[in-house]
Amino acid sequence: MAKANDYLLPDAQRALIQKHAKLALERAGAFGVFPTPIDEILDASKLVVSDDDLADEGLIAHFRRKAKAAGQSLRRAINKVMGALDAVAKIIYLDRTLHVAKIAFIKLHEAGHAVLPWQRDIYSHTEDCEVTLAPEIAEEFEREANTFAADVIFQINKFTEEANQYPFGILVPVRLSKRYGASIYMSVRRYVTESHRACMVLVLEPPKIAPGGFSAEMRREVASPSFLQQFGPLSWPASFGPDDEIGRIVPLYGRKMSRPREITLVDRNKVQHKCVAEAFTQTHQVFILIHSVATLKRLTVSMTG
């Protein structure tokens, strides 16, 4: 099943997060500095990143000798957690085995929890008291922290302005990802969500050999606002294979890309649109970027009998 949108926020809330992201960038003098200087931003926000690796076996063993009760529950927690914030001490802890671009995002995600005042003030309270946030609020805070991290790393509109200088295509965010110090995954999502075009990206799991060829499961779909307005939520299959239009675009046998191909999508008003789909993979996932290029014709349904 495709994952839910973990950035979705109402417009007013989105604007408020952007205001705080802009302040964080300004405090560090980070606008126009590439890649986005994350450590300077954290420093200017009075946050410290611990040298301790959250998943360090020696540290865990040391702790378990002192706190016998922790046992397996800490092990399970560490297996789930890639980053954590000590809100009172303003220290960020990381799983340092992760990819450098992932670490950059997690640092800024945790910074979001510490910088957004309504989050910082309540986490300082929950950390010390026997109260916990309601699950729906904890989830909202995660979406806010994701949005803050993306706004900072892409320097609000700078990434989008730069991307718009090139002809539309999957290689634009791939190449810009290095310049901003962001992951390809994050850059492709940003490219689509901030685009004025009717476009979307399907993120698929790497293809697995299956009867009849291969199967690539859908992980996530992300669309631009104008795509959603025009096409609405489309019902994609849970997985793709060699016999379907999207599956045929999936790069195989070590190839990183597939050439752009025409596909047809039907919008909310049953009008067909010629679209172009192209794919890129860096082995962890497959991106299928789709954008609408021309309106074709209205579908007609003939009733017989």
2-7 long-range Cβ contacts below 8 angstroms, 24+ apart:
2/218, 2/219, 2/220, 2/221, 2/236, 2/238, 3/219, 3/220, 5/222, 6/142, 6/143, 6/146, 7/143, 7/146, 7/147, 7/150, 7/189, 7/193
Comparison of 60 and 266: residue with beta carbon closer to other proteins: 60
Is 4 an interacting residue with respect to other proteins (CB under 8 A)?
no
Is 7 an interacting residue with respect to other proteins (CB under 8 A)?
no
How would you classify the pairing of strands 213-223 and 271-281?
A: unpaired
Among candidate residues 223, 144, 150, the one with its CA nearest the CA of residue 180:
150
Comparison of 2 and 74: residue with beta carbon closer to other proteins: 74
Is 278 an interacting residue with respect to other proteins (CB under 8 A)?
no
Binding mask 58-87 for other proteins (x = CB under 8 A): -xx--x--xx--xx-xx-xxx-xxxxxxxx
Q: Smallest distance, Å, CB 61 to other proteins?
A: 12
Is 132 an interacting residue with respect to other proteins (CB under 8 A)?
yes
How would you classify the pairing of strands 271-281 and 257-266?
A: antiparallel
The single residue among 47, 106, 172, 277 that binds other proteins, judged by CB under 8 A, is 106
Structural contact between residues 197 and 226, judged by C-beta atoms closer than 8 angstroms: yes
- Chain contacts with other proteins (rule: CB under 8 A): 10, 13, 16, 50-52, 59-60, 63, 66-67, 70-71, 73-74, 76-78, 80-87, 89, 91, 93, 106, 109-110, 113-114, 116-119, 121-123, 125-127, 130-135, 137-138, 140-141, 145
